[in-house]
Structure 1
Amino acid sequence: MTSNTNYPTERNSYDAAKSRCNSEANKNYNTYGGAGVTFYEGWDGPNGFDRFLAHIGPKPTPDHSIDRIDNSRGYEPGNVRWATRIEQNRNRSCARLTPAELDYVRFISDMFQMDYNCIRTRYARGVTSPTDLQVPPRVQATRAATVRNREDVSMLYRRGMGRAQIARRLDLHVTTVSDIIKYLEL
C-alpha cells in the first residue's frame, strides 16, 4: 500500500481528475463528467490511488500533470500519462486539426523555434505557408491590407517625407507606414 504522503502531487492530480469526472460541485464538471468523460472504476475505492499510481507511475518531474492521450476517452488504463504543459496544449480537444496537420504545425514550430500555440492558431485560421506562419500577425495584416499602398509609401518615403506625414497624406496609421517601410526594407 502506497502512502499518500510519499506522492502528494500525484495524489492531488488523481483527486482533481476524479472530481472533474464525478462531482457535479466541481467547477470543471460540465467539461468533463458532464460531457461524458469517465474516471475508471478500478481506480476508485479504498486502494484506488495505489492502483492508479501502479499503472501510471510517479511524475517524472514537478512540471508534469495528468493527461488523457485520447480526449474522446476517459481517465482509464492505457489512456493516461504524465505530460508537460506543452504536451498537453498539443493534445487539447479544441485543436480541430488532423494528426497530420498537427505534426506539420509541430514541425514548423520546432523548426522556427516559435510558440506551438501561436503557429497552431495561425494554421487553423488558414495560414499554411511556412513563411507566412512565422511572420507576426501585424506584419501579415500589413502585407494583406496595404498592397495598394506600398508603392505610394515607397515613393513618398524616398522623396524624403516623414512617416507621420505619409500616414496623414495616405490616411494610414503611422505604425502601418512603419511596417510597410520595414517590410520593403527602405
Structure 2
Amino acid sequence: MAELNRQLQEYLAQSKGGGAKTISQSTRAQAETVDFPGRGRPSLILGWSRGQRLLAFSVCVSFSALCFGLSALYAPLLLLYARKFALLWSLGSLFAIAAAAMLRGPSRLIVGLPTSPGAAVYLCALGGTLYAALSLHSTVLTALGAALQVAVIVGYVVSLLPGGSAGIRFMGGMAGSPVKRTLTGKTMPI
C-alpha cells in the first residue's frame, strides 16, 4: 500500500511539474539553488537567504572594524608591536574581503582575480603576512608583508584617481604651491 502511495505521489508531481522530475529530484534541485524574487539569479551561498547573508555581512564588517580599530591602537608603538599591528590589520582585511564575499558571492570575487593582478598580489601578501605572523612568528617578514599590502592598496587608490600618478602630481603641486610661497617669504609685506 505504501508503494502505491509513493507511485501516486510521483505521478502527481510529474503532471504538476510538466516534466519527468520525481519529488526527490525537485527538492534536491531546490536545495542546490535558491532563487531570490525579482533578482533572476540563484544564491551563490547555497541555501542562505538574503537575511542570513546580510547578517553574515554585518558580522564580518563588525569584526573587520574591530580588528582595524585594535590595529590603530598599536600604530603609535609600531616599532615595538609591529607583528601585532600587522596581524590585526591583515585580519581586518580578511574580514572585509569576507564581508564583500557575503554580499557579492565568493564566485564573483574569484572570477575577477585573473583580470586583476593587483588583487592576486594583495591576497598573496595578505596570506604571507598571516603566515609570517601566526606560524613563523617573524617580525621582519610580517612587517614586510604588511608593507607590501599597503603598497598594493596605495597603488590601487592611485589607479582609481583620474589621471593616475600624473593627477596626483598635479594635485600635489596645486596644494603645495601656497605652502611653498609661504616658506620662501614671497608674501605680501605687513
Q: Looking at both structures, which has the greater relative contact order when contacts are Cα pairs under 8 Å and sequence separation is at least 6?
A: 2
TM class by shorter chain equals under 0.3
Q: Comparing both structures, which one devotes a greater share of its residues to helix?
A: 2
**TM-score relative to the length of structure 1:** 0.26
Which protein has the bigger strand share? Answer: 1
Provide the TM-score with structure 2 as the length reference: 0.26
